Amino acid sequence: MSDQADIYISFSDLDNASTEEAQGWVTQVSQFLAEFLKHLLDRKVNIVLRSDQPKEVMAKTFIYILSENNIGGKSTIKEFESYLAAVKDVTKMFKALKTPVDRGDQPEVLKEEIGFRLYEKSGDSRSQESTETSSIAWLRLVDLAYDIYGQIAEIDGITKKEDQGVNKNVFLAEVSVDQEHNHDEIKRELLMHGYKVLPDRPVPDQAEKASERINNYLSESIMSIHIIGEEPGFVPEGSEASIVEIQNTMAAQYCEIIYSGQQTSSNGFNRLLWISPEIEFTNEQQKMEVDRLKQDMAALKGAEIIQTPLEVFKTVVMRRLEETVIMNATSEAGDTKSQKSIYIIYEKSGMDVANKIEDIIIKDDLLALHPLFEGDQLALMDNHRSNLIDCDATIIVYGEGNPSWISSKIKELKKAPGFGREKPFLFKTIITQNKKDIDTDKLASEGVEVLEVSADLSPANLKPLLEKMAN
């Protein structure tokens, strides 16, 4: 439809009052959106304000500016409802809050829409005073612009060739009040890189309905991101657990279902839990809960706990997502790796033994994966994690006199499902010339075999392992 507007903005005239020094607030918002979206869409964006044209104008997206000036059945609400009844082409509504408005006071038709808070509470995070011109509030306007861009691009059929048919949904879990700014930063980063962020509707206040919706979001996503804060978060009606805890529990259960084979997932699902290193607990109970979480293997199923500065965490998120998207795309194209691989884990001092192992296994048409020893720490960590995900089996080369190192490697094998590994190892074997300081019984109970060999490693030493690879 050639005369269809891109955006229709409805608002109260009181929210767009101009002064000698400045244009009205809504006018400033519309001008910002026009410039920002022009850059993204590479064309002029047609924005209609409520007073510019008749309300029957057709539009691809609809923004309702909600404030204390237009609640309680005032004229703009009636206009809004009649507009939606008459215009069927509006495919997406956006709710922008200029000032604080409790959800219970909002029109029914808006309660199920995600709200973009275009104001910032001044002083304490619980203060009800608002500062409409804060930089944080304008950053949220950027978030709104990216969401609108996604909707318009979908309607216009604008999709990057490499993204066609690729799932880029990310479940970014609801957070406690103290982590809202970090949540917003991560969401902004995801949107900037072309990912769709879920939830795209408010999570219901009732526990049962919330759980149903969260489960649907998880099944649609390639990753879930959970941010642990200083506060527990709100508790839905009918639950004793906070929404933060509910989301984490459901994500752990979802991973358990996938890993057990009860349900298949074509999304290469993995999840990350982030705890800011700057976190300062004022709630002793919450501190105890977070400490308990770090030790709760069931609650951490499929998860990788990361406690780094936010900028580092965002880098990790993007790298994990890029890996998952590439893996899913190649899998769907039928370009999966058929050659089986063994990840040889060793210290630099064990490199000669590792090379001998590689010489033996490649004769059986097996691929040898190696750790990296040079580069930045994040690159080393990413290589190690990728090898743990991709390999079919592992061999740990151990010299002697460093039991803490071998213990750390076993722990990392246990964490592999949290990195995104979806299949069991064909074997986990330690190769050593002296097993005197290794607790073989304990390792055996954990599914790790210890193989003592001579300095002159031969193919016969590895034959039992290679037979497992052939099965």
Q: Is the pLDDT of residue 229 over 50?
A: yes
Instruction: From 158, 185, 220, give the residue that closes a domain.
Output: 158
Percent of the residues in the chain that have a pLDDT greater than 70, as a whole number: 83
Q: Is the pLDDT of residue 140 over 90?
A: no
| Residues contacting 437, CB < 8 A, separation 6+ | 400, 401, 403
Instruction: From 336, 366, 388, give the residue that closes a domain.
Output: 336
Residues 175 and 255 in one domain: yes
Integer Cα distance of 175 and 69 in angstroms? 29
Integer Cα distance of 395 and 201 in angstroms? 47
- Asked if 428 contacts 449 with a C-beta cutoff of 8 angstroms, the reply is yes
What are the contacts of 310-313 at 24+ separation with CB within 8 A?
Answer: 310/182, 310/185, 310/186, 310/276, 312/378, 313/186, 313/272, 313/274
Residues 204 and 316 in one domain: yes
Integer Cα distance of 421 and 391 in angstroms? 9
Residues 237 and 353 in one domain: no
pLDDT on residue 126? 36
* pLDDT single digits (tens) 328-382: 766 555 544 567 899 999 998 888 999 999 999 988 889 899 988 876 677 778 7
Residues 51 and 127 in one domain: yes
pLDDT on residue 2? 45
Instruction: From 296, 311, 336, give the residue that closes a domain.
Output: 336
* pLDDT single digits (tens) 197-215: 999 888 888 999 999 999 9
pLDDT on residue 127? 37
Q: How confident is the model at residue 87 (pLDDT cuts 50, 70, 90)?
A: low
Residues 261 and 315 in one domain: yes
Integer Cα distance of 190 and 249 in angstroms? 23
Distance in Å from the first CA to the final CA of the chain: 60
Q: Is the pLDDT of residue 122 over 70?
A: no
SS3 assignment, position 177: helix
Residues 359 and 461 in one domain: yes
SS3 assignment, position 246: helix
Residues 285 and 389 in one domain: no
Residues 365 and 290 in one domain: no
Residues 48 and 194 in one domain: no
Integer Cα distance of 435 and 401 in angstroms? 10
Q: What is the CATH number of the domain that holds 193?
A: 3.40.50
SS3 assignment, position 121: strand
pTM of the model: 0.66
Give me the chain's average pLDDT, please: 82
Strand 393-398 and strand 341-345: the pairing is parallel
pLDDT on residue 164? 58
Q: What is the CATH number of the domain that holds 458?
A: 3.40.50.360
**What is the DSSP secondary-structure string of 11-31?**
--GGGG---SSS--HHHHHHH
Residues 136 and 25 in one domain: yes
Integer Cα distance of 457 and 461 in angstroms? 7
Residues 245 and 357 in one domain: no
Domain limits at 326?
161-336
Most confident stretch, 282-296, 311-325, 344-358? 344-358
Q: How confident is the model at residue 447 (pLDDT cuts 50, 70, 90)?
A: confident
- DSSP 8-state symbol, 345: E
- Asked if 98 contacts 29 with a C-beta cutoff of 8 angstroms, the reply is no
Residues 359 and 330 in one domain: no
**Which among 448, 441, 450, 391 has a CA at the least distance from the CA of 416?**
391
DSSP E strands: which ranges in 204-244?
A: 223-228
Phi-psi map region of 75: left, alpha, beta (phi>0 left; psi -120 to 50 alpha)? alpha
Cα dihedral 442, 448, 453, 456, rounded to 10, equals: -150
**Which among 389, 471, 455 has a CA at the least distance from the CA of 423?**
389
**Which among 40, 102, 32 has a CA at the least distance from the CA of 63?**
32
* pLDDT single digits (tens) 30-73: 999 999 999 989 999 999 887 655 556 678 888 888 888 876 55
Listed in sequence order, the DSSP H helices in 43-120 are: 75-86, 108-111
How many separate domains does the chain show?
Answer: 3
Rg (CA), the chain: 27
**What is the DSSP secondary-structure string of 141-154?**
HHHHHHHHHHHHHH
| Residues contacting 137, CB < 8 A, separation 6+ | 117, 118, 119, 120, 131
* pLDDT single digits (tens) 163-177: 556 788 999 999 998
| Residues contacting 443, CB < 8 A, separation 6+ | 410, 430, 449, 450
- Asked if 98 contacts 119 with a C-beta cutoff of 8 angstroms, the reply is yes
